[in-house]
Chain A
Amino acid sequence: MLSRPLLALAGALALVVGTASAAPIATGEMLANSCAGCHGTNGRISNSAFMPLAGMPQEQFVRTMTDFREGRRSSTLMGHVAKGYSDEELKAMAAFFASVKP
């Protein structure tokens, strides 16, 4: 398990590498914390109707959330939540979850 500061660093690095836009965004850690109420602290959850996000490959997370956001994938609620995040924010969240050991 990575420590929180390391995770935050991983998110921040991904951010620097992943975005070209000038508008500053919240860190991956800050954004990902909002997911934890359903998907578990740091995206770790087992034996739940909610799916774990810890260790999800970054590309899977981003594709999933953009599919929800654009309505390509149906959902009960995730489509609504996904609409609140930009591509850059999704990448930052994804980098955070990809860096957490499941």
Chain B
Amino acid sequence: MNRREFLKFAGATSLAAAFPVRSAFAGAQPHVVVVGGGVGGATFAKYLKMADKNIKVTLIEKNPVYIRPYGSSEVLTGHIQMKDLDVTYDALKSRYGVEMLIDTVVGFDPDKKTVSTAGGKSLAYDRLIVSPGIELKYEAIEGYSEAIANTKVPSGWIPGAQTQLLADQIKSIPKGGTFLLVAPPNPYRCPPGPYERSALVAEWFKKHNPTAKVLILDPKDAFVTDTTMQQGWNRLYGYKMPKSFEEKFVEELRKFKVFSAQEGVDALYAKGILKRNSGPSMISWVTGKEGGRVLKLDAANMTVEAENGVHKADVINIVPPMVAGTIAQKMGLTDKSGWCPIKRESFESTVHKDVHVLGDSSIADAMPKSGFSANTQAKVAALAVAASLKGQQPGIPSWENTCYALAGSDYGFFVADVFALKEGKITNVSGHRYLPLNASEAQIRLGAVYQQAWMKSFTDDCFA
């Protein structure tokens, strides 16, 4: 259904639209409708009720149980099971009084301020929050499709049956086989994610299939946490640090006065910052510069054609390019980039008044597309909406992001940012974002403990 058909659909349900469901206290009790029960939508609903319990909040979500994407790569190694990813909406209902509607939005009228659902409901809103996550563009890679992703070459970037399929495939890789991961172009959800997934698969191989290999084909030459992640690969999986990154390491260590001006690449190895690996590496990362951009998938023959040649693998995992969640596109909230432009201090859409877009779908400048970003964006928006329903201006915003990442189950690190509004843009105000390259082993091991703790604390802050 294209955007025009989608909007027209509102007209087709004219009976419902003419008599939209309003609360008995219409006018007195504002109604805020949230579309999408992921991290952004759930956090928003909870924090808006915390800010003002007299606002009626309805959360429309198509799935009765949320499957959390963060941490879902741990299913691939059997560290957790699919059911461990399930999150219910019970607490939002019982503890905060959020009204849950398990349904799909099929129509939207920004003038009448209504949305209609597949279930035949029409809801009038004072403010509409859209937090639909991402849509995967399977077809952007020739030979790839959602049908192939569901049956043979899974993506699993939105967790579900594909995640389990991928986990099963990894376990059945023949001895010495190859796991090929196709990394996405920027911008995408969970910047360290494809590389963490590669590391966790390598860790599993190390225990169960020690001659198997992980090959990453990438259109990019850099990624968030690329130094600390490669350092982990280097220490754990025999990975040889590329020359350009050795230089990056030296530069950073000098900047933080760990290295003197005289100390160079040799010191990286002499001081145990990196390991000199002579044997074969379990992980290979082919960057864009090296021809890592993927052109074509041949699922029947299990080959991938990249700019640098054809690669055969036993398991292929593709993280395709992505855009804003489908519903945001249909509502006309996206611009030509495929993402949704917003006013920073409230995350209100610059396209439609009284409609806010949260999380991955929004264009949030320096903020990465991550669960943590969506969570703090939702809190900023909740306070802004609560203020605006009282006729007040939004307050001064503040955001954070922390992405913990693992290179192994005892090897944790992170990217951490504090953001503020500077000259109209969301800007990092905290400086250095990564674990220092000379971090002690205790810091690294504790990083992994905190990564695990975060899975619970974060889920609770969003949903409980």
Contacts and interface: CB of A to CB of B under 8 A. Distances in A.
A85 B430 CA distance: 8
Chain B interface category by residue count = 35 or more
B429 A84 contact: yes
B158 interface: no
A34 B399 CA distance: 6
A24 B396 contact: yes
A36 B47 CA distance: 11
Interface in A33-62: 33-41, 45, 48-50
A75 to B, nearest CB: 8
A94 to B, nearest CB: 15
Contacts of A83: 418, 430-432
B160 to A, nearest CB: 24
B125 interface: no
Chain A interface category by residue count = 20 to 34
Interface in B425-464: 428-433, 435, 439, 443, 446-447, 449-450, 452-454, 456-458, 460-461
Interface in A1-43: 4, 24-27, 29-31, 33-41
B376 A80 contact: no
B227 to A, nearest CB: 15
B383 interface: yes
B400 A48 contact: no
Given A30-B383, A37-B375, A38-B402, A48 B432 contact: no
Contacts of B452: 49
A34 B372 CA distance: 9
B457 A39 contact: yes
Given A34-B376, A49-B450, A76-B447, A27 B457 contact: no
Given A24-B396, A30-B395, A84-B420, 18 more contacts: A26-B396, A29-B383, A30-B398, A33-B47, A36-B379, A36-B461, A38-B453, A48-B453, A76-B414, A76-B447, A77-B416, A77-B435, A80-B414, A84-B400, A84-B429, A84-B430, A84-B431, A85-B418
* Pairs of residues from A and B, 3 with the lowest C-beta to C-beta distance, nearest first: A84-B418, A84-B430, A49-B453
25 contacts: A26-B396, A26-B398, A30-B397, A33-B47, A33-B379, A33-B380, A34-B379, A34-B398, A34-B399, A36-B461, A37-B400, A37-B461, A38-B453, A40-B457, A40-B460, A45-B460, A48-B457, A76-B414, A76-B443, A80-B432, A81-B416, A83-B418, A84-B420, A84-B429, A85-B418
Interface of B: 46-47, 50-51, 372, 375-376, 379-380, 383, 395-400, 402, 412, 414, 416-420, 428-433, 435, 439, 443, 446-447, 449-450, 452-454, 456-458, 460-461
